């Protein structure tokens, strides 16, 4: 897993360039948000089970057809699998937030996820909604803990949502 610093240096090294103003600004931003990222990760870690449970409740309140007979979260096993996946997204989003880099999401979460969900007939739309709910809950919890929120907090969730969302070609 890479972080923002190693990814930035790798990209500049591959093109044989010195770090320019943009690179220096990216590094400054990474280091300026370092304490907040670690504090936010501590808040998430301390509240992960509650965040996932609350996100699941909100998701099923917004999309009750998921837990009705024939829905994709109907039966205890499927319901538990949905919450397990939400926990998985939260954990990896937290890793990406601390690293300041979304590569871990591409490598460990997104690669093949759409194909897997499609082969299991798991709808991607509710997954995207659930990730958005998780993002909002994380933002609320982190802010309530007195940790500064910002783009660093939303970036991993936004990346997951963008990559999973259906796009028109």
Burial of 94 (0-12, 13-18, 19+ CB in 10 A): buried
* pLDDT at res. 115: 87
- Can you say whether residue 3 is alpha, beta or left, with left for phi > 0 and alpha for psi between -120 and 50 degrees? beta
Q: Count how many domains the chain has.
A: 1
How far, in Å, CA of 53 to CA of 62, rounded?
A: 14
To the question of whether residue 135 is assigned a binding role by annotation, the answer is: no
Is residue 152 domain-resident? Answer: yes
Q: Can you give the residue range of the structural domain that contains 70?
A: 34-164
How many other CB atoms are there within 10 angstroms of residue 167's CB atom? 6
How far, in Å, CA of 125 to CA of 114, rounded?
A: 11
To the question of whether residue 82 is assigned a binding role by annotation, the answer is: yes
To the question of whether residue 37 is assigned a binding role by annotation, the answer is: no
pLDDT along the chain (169 residues), means of 10: 90 95 95 96 98 98 96 94 96 97 93 88 93 98 97 97 76
Is residue 90 domain-resident? Answer: yes
**DSSP secondary structure, 6-46, as one string:** HHHHHHHHHTT----HHHHHHHHHHHHTHHHHHHHHHHHHH
CB 33 within 8 Å of CB 100: yes
pLDDT digits (tens, 9 = 90+) for 102-116: 999 999 999 988 889
CATH code of 104's domain: 1.10.490.20
């Amino acid at each position: 897993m890479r972080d923002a610093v190693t990814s930035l240096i790798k990209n500049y090294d591959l093109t044989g360039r010195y770090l320019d103003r943009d690179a220096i600004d990216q590094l400054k931003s990474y280091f300026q948000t370092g304490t907040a990222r670690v504090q936010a990760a501590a808040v998430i870690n301390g509240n992960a089970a509650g965040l996932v449970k609350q996100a699941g409740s909100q998701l099923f309140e917004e999309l009750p057809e998921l837990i009705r007979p024939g829905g994709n979260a109907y039966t205890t096993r499927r319901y538990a699998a949905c919450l397990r996946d939400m926990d998985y997204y939260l954990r990896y989003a937290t890793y990406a937030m601390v690293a300041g880099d979304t590569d871990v999401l591409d490598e460990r979460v997104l690669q093949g996820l759409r194909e897997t969900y499609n082969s299991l007939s798991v709808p991607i739309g509710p997954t995207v909604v659930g990730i958005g709910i998780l993002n909002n809950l994380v933002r609320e919890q982190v802010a309530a803990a007195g940790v500064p929120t910002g783009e660093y907090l939303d970036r991993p969730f936004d990346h997951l949502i963008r990559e999973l969302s259906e796009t028109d070609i």
